[in-house]
Amino acid sequence: MLHASLSADAVTPLSPVHRRTFGSFVEHMGRCVHTGVYEPDHPTADADGFRGDVAALVRELGVTTVRYPGGNFVSGHRWEDGVGPKDRRPVRRDLAWHAIETNQFGLDEFVTWCRRSDIEPMMAVNLGTRGLQEALDLLEYANHPGGTHLSDLRAAHGHPDPHDIRMWCLGNEMDGPWQIGHLDARSYGRKAAQVARAMRMADRDLELVVCGSSNSSMPTFGTWEATVLEEAYDAVDHISLHAYYEEHEGDLAGFLGSVTDMDRFIDSVISTADAVGARLRERKRIQLSFDEWNVWYMSRHHAQAAARPTDDWPVAPRVIEDRYNVADAVVVGNMLISLLRHSDRVTAACQAQLVNVIAPIMTEPGGPAWRQTTFHPFALTAASAAGHVLHTDVDCPVQDTARYGEVPVVDAALTHDPEDGRAALFVVNRSTERPLTLRADLRDLAPEGVSEALTLTDDDVYATNTMDDPDRIVPRPNTTVRLDGGRLTVTLPPVSWTVLTLSTSRN
Ligand code: AHR
């Protein structure tokens, strides 16, 4: 048995819990849209063709924001193709994913779908094949109240009220050579700044996200952020981060330690942005939008993509439909812990993606929808984290990993809502073999009782949920938890994610 201790500072909260931390991502890729959120012939579909079973799971997941329509897809996308009478919408090739896009689901359907589930839409503009004029046209169509050509067109399409989309991404992964219209940092920074300034002339209160690096291993990482912000600092509010992790060559310990990289990535982007801000004598601080994060077995995707015939242009093919296991869910839970711990600067995040494509929700065309293992830590964190994130200190043993050297076996985040006194502790035991007893000193919070203690784990860390056995892996009550005089003790199995919710008398 390993031992760890945790202490909390309830006096000076780190930051509020941002609802946008629990965002997701719908891209026109594979089956995320078609036979994912949208399937007109499905038995649960509503009059708009939205799958009812998927919408119910999305609400249960607690998703607050959804980024759309890509991803790599956006860099070749013409937004006009996806609006207006469906029988007149053009069918196009999507070069990013080598597929056919029918455009039967577009901007108006997306916003309608979001609003029905109280989700905030977050839109990306195409800065790959397109630029300033098209971004302004899209903004006019989406947000202008009426009385202009494009806002009246929206009304004529059955949407008299403006969509009022607040958050806009200025392109996608423009640092990546794979991106259609990929640019060097200086050219992209100038283009993004121009687009941002003009978009603000239309609406001063937009929140604009400039592209950061596609991941922390990009050769341009660091200089990309610095150069782009030199050009666009005054015009934007957020810089994006993207990161995907997978288990490499049986290095389970390294995979479980993935957040080591995520933490460093976040800290480096903060330092870089602040250094540019200081040089420019800017008072504003750039916020971080971690708008693509997840576990993704990308190496399998590359192998499959290389094997695909190049004359094949399928509609909604099954691509990157990763099946997630227990270890994947623990890493996803840990990534949410990292996002919460960085809430002072990471004010928005999107798990990529929402349905079928590296997703917490899976569907069969004409058949059921079910929850992957990764659904559970997301849903429970979104439901339990509220109020403020508190500073925590953890003292614990370390574990050797091939990828990151020594990694602490425990990672945790604690939130407290002064409104109702509810606190939530999220904690992972990343040890591959040994259970751990955690002693948490929560006296500052004056805890009165444990309302819920749930742990996601299994003897088989590679066990998954399937269509036939959708609840093989679910969080189960942790009966080891004890609370005595403000000190909490709980045993955490190896490779596990746990949430503990408490009532406290501190407001
Ligand atoms: O989420 C899948 C893809 O990953 C996105 O299209 C792209 O932005 C990223 O590389």
Q: Tell how far CA 379 is from the center of its chain.
A: 13
Which pLDDT score is estimated for 201? 97
Of the pLDDT bands very low, low, confident and very high (cuts 50, 70, 90), residue 11 is confident
Determine whether 292 is an active site residue.
yes
Q: Of 426, 423, 396, which is closest to residue 408 (Cα–Cα)? A: 396
Instruction: Write out residues with Cβ below 6 Å of ligand 1.
Output: 27, 29, 70-72, 172-173, 214, 292, 352-353
Given a cut of 90, is residue 391 above it in pLDDT? Answer: yes
Segment 37-58, tens digit of pLDDT: 999 999 999 999 999 999 999 9
Q: Which ligand 1 atom sits closest to the C-alpha of 27? A: 6
Residue nearest to ligand 1 atom 6, measured at CA: 71
* Structure token pair of residue 40: 């007109």
Give yes or no for residue 305 having a pLDDT over 80: no
Mean pLDDT of the chain: 97
pLDDT of the residue at 178? 96
Ligand 1 pocket, mutate which of 66, 67, 173, 240 (most atoms under 8 A from CB): 173
Q: How far is the CA of 59 from the centre of ligand 1 (A)?
A: 23
Structural element, H or E, at residue 455: strand 447-456
Helix axes 375-384, 52-61, angle to 10 degrees: 60
Beta strands in 254-300 (DSSP E): 287-295
Say which of 27, 80, 101, 173 is annotated catalytic: 173
Domains of the chain, first to last: 2-9+388-504 (2.60.40.1180), 18-384 (3.20.20.80)
| Res. 363: pLDDT tops 90 | yes
In the residue annotation, 109 being an active-site residue is answered as no
In the prediction, which pLDDT does 222 show? 98
**pLDDT for residue 506 is more than 90:** no
Ligand 1 atom closest to Cα of 29? 6
| Contact of 90 with 405, CB cutoff 8 Å | no
Radius of gyration of the chain (CA): 23
CB-side exposure of 18: number of CA atoms within 13 Å?
Answer: 24
Average pLDDT over residues 21-34: 98
- pLDDT at residue 138 greater than cutoff 80: yes
Q: Rounded CA gap, 35 and 413, in Å?
A: 36
| Residue type at position 157 | H
DSSP per residue, 84-101: S-GGGPPPEEETTTTEEE
Question: What spacing in Å lies between the alpha carbon of 72 and ligand 1's midpoint?
Answer: 6
Residue count of the chain:
507
pLDDT of residue 302: 80
In this structure, the strands spanning 92-94 and 369-371 are unpaired
Residues 171, 129: contact at Cβ < 8 Å? no
Q: Determine the longest span between alpha carbons in the chain, in angstroms.
A: 69
Task: Report the nearest-CA residue for atom 3 of ligand 1.
Answer: 71
Task: Taking residues 139-148, report their average pLDDT.
Answer: 98
Range with the lowest mean pLDDT among 286-290, 304-308, 330-334, 402-406?
304-308
The helix/strand/coil state of 20 is helix
Give 262's contacts (C-beta < 8 A, 6+ positions apart). Answer: 243, 245, 293, 335, 338
The sign one gets for the Cα dihedral 379, 385, 391, 396 is negative
d(CA 154, CA 108): 8
pLDDT band at residue 272 under the 50/70/90 scheme: very high
Atom nearest to 173 CA in ligand 1:
8
